[in-house]
Amino acid sequence: MNARTPVDSPLPARDAAFMRSYLDALTLVERLHRLLLDVIKDEFERLHILDVNPVQALLIFHVADHEVTAGELKTRGYYQGSNVSYNLKKLVELGYLHHQRSEIDRRSVRVRLTDKGRKLREVVARLFATHAEGLTSRAILDADAMDEITRALRRMERYWTDQIRYIY
């Protein structure tokens, strides 16, 4: 999607300007996600952590101190269904996650971090803390600006979620 692509329908100038900004924001969100994965990959390469990919690292970060199922991670909006199942299986095989079948529903597996997983989570948490410190110390963003960005993105998230839930 290119934010510079002209909109096919004739819109008033104000609406056309909003559409360009909206498409630019969508492109930025996509690019920022890919860039975040690249930043994590770069950090892992620097630390010689080669057995986990950035998506798996984020999964470990989000599991944190919880015991969760793949469905819960998917419901929280972090991952697609088959993607999360594959990555959880790989992380169990690599020793980052411990898994246990539910006594009630044998198809359901709950996972939690192992000691190895907690250590990797700390690496990611330190990376994020370093970035947060850099953003504030270089006056790129302050707490108010970050809160404003987060509120705007949450409103967009709610709007999109409503579009999925209520479209017939």
d(CA 27, CA 44): 26
Coil, helix or strand for 107? coil
d(CA 142, CA 135): 7
Residue 127 within a domain: yes
Domain limits at 69? 56-162
Residue 84 within a domain: yes
Please write the tens of the pLDDT for every residue from 5-53: 455 556 677 788 899 999 999 999 999 999 999 999 999 999 999 999 9
Residue 14 within a domain: no
Residue 117 within a domain: yes
Nearest partner of 127 among 39, 62, 50, judged by Cα: 39
CATH number of the domain bearing residue 123: 1.10.10.10
Residue 106 within a domain: yes
Please write the tens of the pLDDT for every residue from 72-122: 888 776 666 568 888 999 999 999 999 987 777 767 788 999 999 999 999
- In order of 71, 108, 162, 168, the CA distances from 165 in angstroms are 18, 25, 5, 8
Residue 32 within a domain: no
Residue 37 within a domain: no
The structure tokens 């630390």 sit at 47
Residues 84 and 59 sit within 8 Å (Cβ to Cβ): yes
Number of domains in the chain: 1
